[in-house]
Chains A and B, each alone.
Chain A
Amino acid sequence: MALTLDELFDRVQKPARYTGGELNSVVKDKSKVNVRFAFCFPDLYEVGMSHLGMKILYGLKNAVEDFWCERVFAPDTDMEALMRENGIPLFALESRDPVREFDFVGFTLQYEMCYTTILNMLDLAGIPLRADQRGEDMPLVIAGGPCACNPEPLADFFDIFILGEGEEVNLELMTLYREHKQQGYDKQRFLKAAAQLEGVYVPAFYEVSYHEDGRVQAITPIGGVPATVRKRVIRDMDTAYYPEAFVVPFIDIVHDRAMSEIFRGCIRGCRFCQAGFIYRPVREKSVETIDRQSRCLCETSGYEEFSLSSLSTSDYTHLEELLTQLLSWAEEQHTNISVPSLRVDGFSEELANRLNVLRRNGLTFAPEAGTQRLRDTINKNLTEDEILETARRAFSGGWTSVKLYFMMGLPTETAEDIVGINTLGQKIVNCFYQNPNKPKGKGVTVSVSVSCFVPKPFTPFQWEPQDTLAQLEEKQRLLRESVTTKKVSLSWHDAKTSYLEAVLARGDRRLGAVLEEAFRRGFNLDAWSEHFDFDAWMDIFRNQGLNPDFYACRRREEDEVFPWDHIDVGVTKAFLWAENQRAHEGVTTPHCRQECSHCGAACFKGGVCVERR
């Protein structure tokens, strides 16, 4: 006898991941709803529920009376096994209806390692994986998010990709669908019409041809769709939709707090950072808007903490004014403000103390590279002096540990740069001992965390090879041997995961077969290291006749056609190439507020590109 859903809840870890019913979750009367959207996050509840983009789009869609958006997360392995055993398909948390009965099934693509989880979720929902196997009776399977800027490895599985910011285009797409449904829905006709919306990419309408060696030869639009699809951008952040309430989970999640987005985009242009280019241009919210939205969210959620969200908090133009304003009511209500990625330098001591910056976040830096030469190459403008000065300040305040983030395998990197990582760590250790009033009897720890560089599309390094696994291992050895003190502690990210990430990030449509085979072999939740089996992945590439090094470790020519060339994020390929050349010359590029470098994003006519300098 099959078990009911309630009986499953009694048998799994953390059932509140699956029950729904959280405060501020939206339940509507099905009979009054015209378009149903299952918002799927391809990871566990704790991860997905921490994601700001999902909260925005959930609120936005549900604000339309006859649209109903519900949440779906990947079940953990215990729950999935029981669901499969008892014939319970993937369901949405609010209504507990099977996802396959929805009009739209939308995934957010936050990182490459979730791709197999997506296929597994579709299968668990009883939805055929490939778009061409799904007829009128099946939901439209769509996706958005940062990885959608090169969605090609997933092209076979999705009907639609949404490029750029989803606030406007999601509603346009659902409205168009409602019209088509009222006039008798035909999938092909709908997709044709949808492909005319800016920011909507229908992969089936583009044909890809390859050179014999596997490079893309051409991407050809068929049936009158635009040759390139441009991402969508919200021009004015002050009038953009922002939720008045967040769903408040019962269980502890990764980021269990209210979040206020303070701006989108980044002025900096670090050359390894995809987010720094695909979200251009920078657009800020005013102090009043942020203040109003933060206050509202805290009131409706009861959260005891809220964080300011952006790519680089310190770049907000009115930061002191903002924080002073927020603190004026937050302190009274015993509400903490968390300010991630804040540069403590150039920040008033009083404000830093009121925010408790150090105590809450610890002292962290992301120099990314060990020498000034390499930091210039990647355009990371953080100098050694700035780092040491901040460390001194923290140590004199009684602080005894510092965390540093680096990357290894960056373009032009030499042994000197690797050893430089330790040298910088050692200099910070010295700062501690030079402090005349250092706490008695206490030592210092400098934790150095090193990840492997992954070249990403739409960055100046999209032409660059990733280091091979052997090279990365050699560099790890070199760094390990350069450390001579226990006061500097090293930790690594798994190089094999970064390698697979690099393959998928710059992959083409031929990788669809690899992903499908990986799913058939039961791969799921690869982002969780205990589930990740590297050798099995390599075996699949071999069986499909594809060489992963071709994607990860190959240097591209300037004029190579990339699998993502028909996607337009505003920033031009010519600009990215110029940036690549400057990197090799070791020349930095000023940020958007110092000087416009004419990257192409001015085509959106918003934000920093139209600000007076």
Chain B
Amino acid sequence: MNDVKDFTTVRIVFSKKGRARYISHLDLNRTMTRAVRRAGLPIWYTEGFNKHPYLTFAAPLSLGFEGERETMDLRLERDMPMDELVSRLDAVMPEGLRILDAAPAVKKAGEVACAVYRLTLNCPVEAVNSLLAQESITAQKRTKKKELVTVELKPVLDAAQGCVSECPEGTRWELTLPMGSELSVNPSLIVAALREQQGLPTLSAQVLRLRVLSKDGTEFV
């Protein structure tokens, strides 16, 4: 087996918007693999019977969400200029996916700590403020074993450095949610809590992940 340390792992920053937000995480992996092949990048293939290009995502994005600065890691067989990599890959992307940046990966995937989201909601600002004023904010969540459990979101929202403002669609809410191995909160839980507790059956939300942060508070790139 080849020694993987011989190869550079490159972290690529990309955006995922518009129609591309409906590409699921699994499908994104395939989409990116094919893009890398179209661009003819010298990507490293795993060994074994089922050879495939080495490509990973430190912070997968849920189906239906948009991402402003997502990351993907791939391993190159030989060095190449980063700006050339960006332009070649960007040229072969389908609609909605744009390659923004690339650099040798320094931070480990385990350093991902939280993410900043922007929710665009079709409800008035008061609904959000009134939710935040509650003693307890809960939502139902399915565990890996498919059991329904109730989670308390109050502490998370208190720490979320939220910023609520008016916008043409209704409300814009920017907030930071934990995303790590111990605790991870998906913004759809917050939307569900808002829908249930404020009695908004027709509430719909567009979710945009603005950036992913690492434990030291800097952007995870």
Contacts and interface: CB of A to CB of B under 8 A. Distances in A.
Interface of A: 1, 7, 9-10, 14-16, 19-23, 248, 250-252, 299-304, 333-334, 359
Nearest to B23: A250
Interface in B18-56: 18-20, 22-24, 26-28, 30-31, 33-38, 45, 49, 51-53
Nearest to A21: B19
B135 interface: no
Contact of A9 (B22, B26, B51): B22
A16 B64 CA distance: 10
A19 B204 contact: no
Interface of A is mostly: loop
Nearest to B49: A359
B124 interface: no
Contacts of A251: 24, 27
Interface of B: 18-20, 22-24, 26-28, 30-31, 33-38, 45, 49, 51-53, 63-64, 92, 94-96, 202, 204
A21 B22 CA distance: 10
Contacts of B53: 334
Centre residue among B22, B49, B52 by max chain A CB count within 10 A: B22
B90 to A, nearest CB: 13
B36 A304 contact: no
A15 B92 CA distance: 23
A536 B92 CA distance: 50
Contacts of A1: 202
Contacts of B35: 23, 302
A605 B163 CA distance: 75
A304 B52 contact: yes
B212 to A, nearest CB: 22
Contacts of A248: 31, 34, 94
Please provide the 6 A-B residue pairs with the shortest distance between their CB atoms, ordered closest to farther: A302-B34, A21-B19, A302-B38, A302-B37, A23-B94, A15-B22
A19 B22 CA distance: 8
A301 B64 contact: no
A303 B202 CA distance: 41
Contact of B31 (A9, A250, A299, A334): A250
B22 A16 contact: yes
A355 to B, nearest CB: 14
A15 B62 CA distance: 13
Contacts of A21: 18-20, 94-96
Contacts of B51: 334
Nearest to A1: B202
A299 B49 CA distance: 23
Given A302-B36, A334-B51, A22 B22 contact: no
Contacts of B92: 23, 302
A304 B204 CA distance: 39
A477 B30 CA distance: 45
Contact of B64 (A10, A22, A300): A10
Contacts of A14: 24
A333 B28 CA distance: 21
Contacts of B34: 23, 248, 301-304
A303 B37 CA distance: 8
A20 B18 CA distance: 11
B94 A304 contact: no
Given A15-B63, A23-B35, A23-B92, 11 more contacts: A15-B22, A21-B20, A23-B34, A250-B23, A250-B27, A251-B24, A252-B26, A303-B34, A334-B51, A334-B53, A359-B49
Contacts of A301: 34, 38
A304 B19 contact: no
Nearest to A93: B19
Contacts of A300: 38
